[in-house]
Amino acid sequence: MKKILVANRGEIAIRVMKTAQKMGIKTVAVYSTADRNAPHVRFADEAVWIGESPSNQSYLLGSKIIEVAKELNVDAIHPGYGFLSENAEFAQEAERNGIIFIGPKAKAIEIMGSKLAAKDAVMKYNIPMVPGVDHAIIDIDEAKRTATTIGFPILIKASAGGGGKGMRVVEKENDFESQMNRAISEAVAAFGDGSVFIEKYVAFSRHIEIQIMADSHGNVLYLFERECSIQRRHQKVIEEAPSSVLSPETRKKMGEAAVLVAKSCDYLGAGTVEFLYDENDNFYFLEMNTRLQVEHPVTELISGVDLVEMQIRVARGEALAIKQEDLEIKGHAMELRVYAEDPMNDFLPSVGHLDVYQLPVGEGVRVDNGFEQGMDIPIYYDPMLSKLITYGKTREESIQLMLKAIDGYKIEGVQTTLPFGKFVFEHEAFRSGHFDTNFVKKYYNGDVLKNQKAKEAEIAALIALKQYFEDQKILRLPN
């Protein structure tokens, strides 16, 4: 493998290229009009324009990307995450053209891409699942009967996708019909498929995911868990590894269950198996993500492995160089996704110009970044600027490093999730480890930050006033 095309943009494109270059592999970037001056374009050995700014005219053009790969004699394509990373057709087309797809085979992507097919595949392994239906529903009357049988609160979920789209929690029967209609229309808009399914809503749950890696020689590893319970709109904002609530016994059980999920679809490469974990130490299979996750750095830091390097080695047919017993957890890592969003206004995207953009540095601080000062944030893509990751010997040390690093960011021109991150990392519920997926609903609203900002401004004004009077005294001193 001498040359890899990275079919992505931003921080993940640079992240993949760094490892490829470390392995002596040349890299090719692709870019849209909006990204023509982006850092990932300059970072690569070669770069090719693939279309206009909207992703359906550039980053989602699988055939165009494969055409570019063939023209430049590319050996493999790394899809990153998002865009074409879980597109079975794209994986298949790459293979048909003699290009290695750095990810699982199309069949595994297809099975795990449908939440219902995934549940069906793992059922024979006796892996616990949340009570619910085992088929897609579009008919509202049937859905209502099912919901009543399961018992409220229930969760409506789009069968064809994730990322919180087409997902609705319904607390009572009266709200069911309107929420069902909204879930279906969201699912159609996001995935072109309105089928949904219904399952019991586990109210006080944690969102725990297990990182797995599988080679083509029958070996599957689990690289421990990530805690992903701090979410807004069912999407993760903060992740950590390991979780503060899992016992070694539960960790082993969940890890072994994740390995069975991988085996159920003859998996290859890096993948993540997601579970719900309740207050009674029960866990339930949710879904499998057939790609590298946004939050993979926290796993890399506690396990001491480079997951992208493992992906590349496995894709070129190598057997995994480590065994399960070689892996151990060392230290604790935290990640904050730094989005250009306004946490004081319901996390709405905050597009604009990065007038100031300076990143924190220091021991135990890692920033996976895709932007630089002076750039505009395009409206066409996910608004994530960078990921702030900290690593310490203990959870407490990692939190303290995170708070210091948040203060080390200097961003002007757009609103970001940094103040929200600070709020979470300082909150007693988070620091004590006693929280669940309802953290934002329970403890946070935009007014909290507005009041905090007003207090900070008041204190700053008082300090400035005090300094003014001190300066006046000095000026009035006789010669």
Q: What are phi and psi of 411, to 5 degrees?
A: -130, 125
In whole angstroms, what is the distance from residue 434 CA to residue 297 CA? 24
Q: How far is CA 270 from CA 216, 217, 436, in A?
A: 12, 14, 26
Backbone angle region of 287, left / alpha / beta, with phi > 0 → left and psi within -120 to 50 → alpha: beta
* Residue linked to tokens 């506690």: 302
Let me know if 291 is a catalytic residue.
yes
Q: What are phi and psi of 359, to 5 degrees?
A: -100, 150
Judged by DSSP in three states, 436 sits in coil
**Of 339, 382, 368, the residue nearest 82 (C-alpha):** 382
**Of 247, 241, 211, 213, the residue nearest 323 (C-alpha):** 213
What does DSSP say about strands 220-232 and 205-214: parallel, antiparallel, or unpaired?
Answer: antiparallel
Q: What token pair was written down for 43? A: 């970072």
- The burial of 3, by beta-carbon neighbours within 10 Å (0-12 exposed, 13-18 middle, 19 or more buried), is given as middle
Residues for the chain: how many in total?
479
Answer yes or no: are the C-beta atoms of 213 and 220 closer than 8 Å: yes
Active-site residue, from 291, 337, 366, 395: 291
In whole angstroms, what is the distance from residue 356 CA to residue 339 CA? 15
**Of 286, 264, 270, the residue nearest 437 (C-alpha):** 286
Percent helix, percent strand, percent coil in the chain, to nearest 5: 40, 25, 35
Sequence-distant (6+) residues with CB within 8 A of 157 are: 115, 166, 167, 183, 196, 197, 198, 199
Characterize 402-428 residue by residue with b for buried, 16 or more Cβ atoms within 10 angstroms of its Cβ, and e for exposed: beebbeebebebbbbbbbbbbbbbebe
Q: Which residues are catalytic?
A: 291
